[in-house]
Amino acid sequence: GSLNGNFYKIDPSNGKKIWSYKAGAQIHSTCALNNNAAVFGTDKGKIIAVETASGTEKWKVETGLPVISTPLINGDKVYIGCNDSNFYCISLNDGNKFWQVNLHSKIISGSASDKDGNIIVGCVDGKLYKLSKENGNILWSAETKGTIVSSPVVSGKNLYISSYDSYVYAFDIET
Tens of pLDDT, residues 27-46 = 999 999 998 999 999 999 99
Tens of pLDDT, residues 79-118 = 999 999 999 999 999 999 999 999 999 999 999 999 999 9
Mean pLDDT in the chain? 96
Instruction: Check: CB of residue 116 under 8 Å from CB of residue 76.
Output: no
Sequence-ordered list of residues with C-beta below 8 angstroms from that of 18, at least 6 positions apart, any chain: 8, 9, 10, 11, 55
CA distance 75 to 96: 15
User: Model pTM?
Assistant: 0.95
Sequence-ordered list of residues with C-beta below 8 angstroms from that of 83, at least 6 positions apart, any chain: 45, 63, 65, 66, 67, 68, 106, 107, 108
| DSSP label of 71 | P
pLDDT of residue 174: 86
Residue 155: which pLDDT band, with cuts at 50, 70 and 90? Answer: very high
